[in-house]
Amino acid sequence: MTTAAAQWHSDDSARFLCYLVIAFVASSLKVKLPGITSTMSVHFLFVLVGIVELSLPETIVIGTGATLVQALVRTKSRPRLIQTLFNMSAVAVAITLAARVYYMAPMRGMSIDPLLLAAVACAFFVANSIPVASIISLVEKKPLRAMWKECYFWSFPYYLVGAGIAEIFHIANYYLGWRTAVCILPLVYIIFRSYRLYLGRLDREKAHSEQVAALHLRTIEALSLAIDAKDHTTSEHLRRVQVYSLEIGKELALSEDELNALRAASLLHDIGKLAVPEHIISKPGKLTAEEFEKMKIHPIVGAEILEEVDFPYPVVPIVRAHHERWDGSGYPYGLKGGDIPIGARILSVVDCLDALASDRQYRRALPLDEAMAKIKSESGTSFDPKVVDILERRYHDLERQAAQTPVSRRKLSTEMPSKNEIAPAAGLEISRHQPGDQREPRQFLDSIAAARQEVQGLFELTQDIGTSLSVSETLSVLAVRLQRIVPYDCIAIYVTKNGRLVPEYVIGDDFRLFSSLNIPLGEGVSGWVAMNDKWVINTDPSLESAYLGDESKTSMLQSALSVPLDGLGGVVGALTLYRAQKDAFTKDNLRVLLALRSKVSLAIENALKFRQAESASTTDYLTTLPNARSLFVHLEEELSRSKRSQTPLAVLVCDLDGFKQINDRFGHLEGNRLLQMVARSFRDNCREYDYVARMGGDEFVLVIPGLPPQALQDRIAQLEEVVRIAGERVCGEPIVSLSVGAATYPDDSADAEGLLAEADHRMYARKRIHKKVNAFREYGQPVQWPEMPATMSVQ
């Protein structure tokens, strides 16, 4: 522009001023470009005319002046000075480049080659649109190519039309004079109207697309509401996962389709849990292997459900793979590294972080920083390191952004008030309240949904807890089903044993505290309830451990609801629920527990009796070791395992020498005490997976898998030593010893009966040796040593 001013000259000032005024008028006829904060006018036509008819300085003044008018006239907000200067400079540069294309032509005159003007129009269009599109793409963080193609390329044909008009105008000016420029105004208006019509149609199509997209998104949110109801997650969880995922996706420069897919998948990734039984989803503890296998189907089911929706962007692969792990140890297909879709990699990291930082049925939320540290520790194993690095750098900002994002989610109706109090045909029952009764505020109609849920929950609970005689299974089902009817943060089921309440099942907050209690009857909340056969509501849970006299062992929960469990023979225990809030339990909660307690008490009592009977049939009463019946079952299992894994298996048959003398000299009570001490010593000196059983009398059997033959003698010597020590503690003198016979698989036999028979035979051979050794020591008689098996030796 400075160069144009310095080189200014005009052959006809009146013609220049006429063109300038018409260009200003044309620049005020502007349209807003779709999708960006920019406008466009038709003053480019006079730039093309100026290049042909006027000098370069005059054309630059027309172009920059028209740009200034376009920026300041009929605008809602004034642009900043730097923006205006940039636009004027860009136009001046574009005019200069287009003029150079024109002046490079070898011949110009009355008739101008249309191809030359087309080339000039193309040069001006490219030089004018690309710089502006570049700045807008940087400001609005949109790809340059997509921005230029969507917002500017559609106007390219108009520039070619403008080149044709400039050619016609030049010919008319040559024959009729420059005053015919006024006639160009109708053409300017026609081009402006065509702009308006075209862009108006684009705006309508865009508005329609946005409406369809909004409807699509609302449908997705409605589906996510169904997931919330099944999975007990919250809309805040979905909001955070969506915000985190999209921001990470933008930083990774995902395409628009990939971002749309990530937006939908963040809401719908767990829709497959609709096919998982709710007691597994809501289980307040670790899943069993079978339950986890059932849980693994939800990514596949979710993908199959969403395939029916036919999304225009790849949502299904993200949902199908959002539980895959970076190292290939995930499910359902064990994808690894870059084989996992990028959206699934982002979603798995974000979903895990939010799960760790949120309260779940099986644990309390971790602090956000601690949760992030856990995610970081699994970078490169469970998660994509690149995604983890972005999350670690931005998670505080993303959390604030998620907290500021509004959530528009309605709750399902739980009440239906009615203005017309109409009685049914049979009339209404008259409520009779005693004076002083505390009455709940009256509601017009009970919540149908809540009543149905309670009835259904009670029915399912009473059905389910009677289907199993296993104590742990019965109480686990009770805990899951009961939480749907009576919310709690912790549940403890205590049973009476030897004048105390022993925790049989505990799950939830303060698990360690309540599971460690051994409450005397009459002490604490549950002890008082069991002792007096009365319920309590909203009492202080910290009283539960008051009998310990240790202030460090105090619950932080604030409300307790406890009811006694009455069996056929009296109180069998107490069912106690705890909540974190004060006065959290209602009379309705108490009503439900009182309605359930007879069924619950009977189910627990039956399960305890079954466990006692089952234990008695497989356990030796005196030593609590497995009995002979259990031994044969276990030995068959261990033998099968050894055959499959080709590992050795040793069977030791042990008999106490001199045990009859203890019964004769010290009595049977001392003999029983010795057997109990030997049983404890055997268990304490065996590995966790070794098996010790009592065959009967003073005979014990040990099943030892994986023991190499060279270590067998050391084990036998160890057992003989513990028996000698036990005998001295009980009798005060070493009158008891141990005879051991050993048989091994595969050397001695390949079946259970053969191993026991061989070990028993060698045990009696050893016993005869001990008798002769003792006789020699006592009477000085010579000893005749029998032949010993290779695996045995005289000690």
Query: Is pLDDT of 413 > 50?
Result: no
Tokens, residue 612: 């006692």
User: Is residue 58 a part of any domain in this protein?
Assistant: yes
CATH number for position 238: 1.10.3210.10
Four-CA torsion 264, 269, 275, 276, nearest 10 degrees:
-150
167 or 217, which is more confident? 167
Residues 753 and 655 both lie in one domain? yes
| CA atoms within a 13 Å half-sphere pointing along the CA-CB vector of 234 | 11
pLDDT band at 562 (very low <50, low <70, confident <90, very high): very high
Domain termination site, one of 356, 379, 404 = 404
- Output the six-digit token pair for 216: 């699509």
Instruction: Look at 332 and 629; give whichever has higher pLDDT.
Output: 332
Question: Tell me, what's the pLDDT at 776?
Answer: 60
Contact yes or no for 392/414 (Cβ under 8 A): no
Q: Which residue is listed with tokens 């559609």?
A: 154
* pLDDT tens sequence across 378-392: 998 999 999 999 999
For residues 705 and 647, is the Cβ–Cβ distance under 8 A?
yes
Helix/strand/coil percent split, the chain, to 5: 60, 10, 30
Same domain? For 179 and 246 the reply is no
Query: Does residue 402 have a pLDDT over 90?
Result: no
Looking at the structure, do residues 556 and 533 belong to the same domain, yes or no? Answer: yes
Mean pLDDT of all residues belonging to the chain: 76
Assigned domain for 426 exists: no
Residue 431 in any domain: the answer is no
Q: Which two tokens stand for residue 652?
A: 């030791």
Q: What's the confidence (pLDDT) of residue 449? A: 44
Give the residue ranges of DSSP H helices in 179-334.
184-231, 235-251, 256-268, 278-281, 289-295, 298-307, 316-321
Q: What is the C-alpha to C-alpha distance for residues 270 and 228, in angstroms, rounded to an integer?
A: 9
Same domain, 306 and 331: yes
- The answer to whether residue 646 scores a pLDDT higher than 50 is yes
The residue from 360, 385, 404 where one domain ends is 404
What is the pLDDT, as a whole number, of residue 415? Answer: 42
Given a cut of 70, is residue 566 above it in pLDDT? yes
Cα(332)–Cα(732) distance, integer angstroms: 65
153 vs 354, higher pLDDT: 354
So what's the pLDDT on residue 490? 93
Q: Which amino acid, 350?
A: V
- Both structure tokens of 626: 């497995």
Per-residue HEC secondary structure of 664-721 comes to HHHCHHHHHHHHHHHHHHHHHCCCCCCEEEEEECCEEEEEEECCCHHHHHHHHHHHHH
Residue from 350, 406, 354 nearest 383 by CA:
350
- Measure the CA–CA gap between 224 and 234, rounded to whole angstroms: 10
pLDDT > 60? residue 672: yes
The answer to whether residues 277 and 387 belong to one domain is: yes
**Residue 211 falls inside a structural domain:** no
State the average pLDDT over residues 746-757: 88
In a domain, 607, yes or no: yes
3-state secondary structure of 752: helix
pTM summary value: 0.40
Question: Burial level of 453, CB count in 10 A (0-12/13-18/19+)?
Answer: middle
Q: Are residues 583 and 686 in the same domain?
A: no
User: CA-CA distance, 533 to 556, in Å (whole number)?
Assistant: 26
Interval 254-304: pLDDT, tens: 888 888 889 888 888 888 877 776 656 766 667 767 678 878 888 988 888
CATH (domain of 134): 1.10.1760.20
Residue 723: give its domain's CATH number: 3.30.70.270
Please report which confidence band the pLDDT of residue 192 belongs to, taking 50, 70 and 90 as the band edges.
low
- In 499-589, at which residue ranges do the beta strands (DSSP E only) sit? 500-508, 519-520, 536-539, 559-567, 570-579
Ramachandran sector of residue 522 (left: φ over 0; alpha: ψ -120 to 50; beta: rest)? left
* Structural domain includes residue 468: no
Q: Which residue has the higher pLDDT, 34 or 237?
A: 237
Q: Give the rounded percent of residues in the chain with a pLDDT score beyond 70.
A: 70
The answer to whether residue 563 scores a pLDDT higher than 80 is yes
The lowest-confidence range among 460-464, 691-695, 766-770 is: 460-464
- What is the domain-level CATH number for residue 515? 3.30.450.40
| pLDDT, tens digit, 9 for 90 and up, residues 500-527 | 898 988 988 888 899 888 899 888 889 9
State phi, psi for 579 to the nearest 5 degrees: -130, 155
Peptide bond preceding 435: is omega within 30 degrees of 0, i.e. cis? Answer: no
* Range name among 253-262, 302-311, 456-465 with the lowest pLDDT average: 456-465
541 and 398 together in one domain: no
In the chain, the number of structural domains is 4
Q: Is the pLDDT of residue 405 over 80?
A: no
Q: Which whole number is the average pLDDT over 467-491?
A: 78
The whole-number average pLDDT for the span 392-411 is 74
Which of 404, 434, 463 terminates a domain? The answer is 404
Residue 644, in any domain of the structure: yes
Are residues 634 and 692 located together in one domain of the fold? yes
Whether 611 and 633 share a structural domain: no
Rounded-to-integer distance, Cα 540 and Cα 534, Å = 16
**Highest mean predicted confidence (pLDDT) among 300-309, 563-572, 737-746:** 737-746
> Does 340 lie in the same domain as 238?
yes
- The answer to whether residues 524 and 657 belong to one domain is no
- What is the model's pLDDT at position 440? 42
Query: In the numeric block, which tokens belong to residue 605?
Result: 């009592």
Q: Please state, in angstroms and rounded to a whole number, the distance separating the CA atoms of residues 464 and 474.
A: 8
Q: What range does the domain containing 497 cover?
A: 488-616
Least confident of 208-222, 636-650, 747-761: 208-222
Q: Which residues make Cβ contacts (< 8 Å) with residue 675, sequence separation at least 6? A: 622, 623, 694, 698
Structural domain contains residue 446: no
Paired strand residues for 496: 501
Task: Inform me whether the pLDDT recorded for 43 exceeds 80.
Answer: no
- Inter-helix orientation angle 712-731/668-684, to 10°: 150
Q: Work out the angle between the directed axes of helices 256-268 and 184-231 (0-180°, nearest 10).
A: 30
Do residues 118 and 192 share a domain?
yes
Q: What is the pLDDT of residue 324?
A: 92
Q: Is residue 299 within 8 Å of 332, Cβ to Cβ?
A: yes
Asked if 606 and 595 touch (Cβ cutoff 8 Å), the reply is no
Contact partners, residue 255, CB within 8 Å, separation at least 6 = none
The answer on pLDDT for 573 being more than 50 is yes
pLDDT for 29 beyond 70 = no
Q: Which residues of 753-783 are buried (b: 16+ CB within 10 A; e: fewer)?
A: eebbbbbbebbebbbebbeeeeeeeeeeeee
Q: Are 562 and 526 in contact (CB under 8 A)?
A: yes
pLDDT at 65 over 50: yes
Q: Residue 299: what residue type? A: P
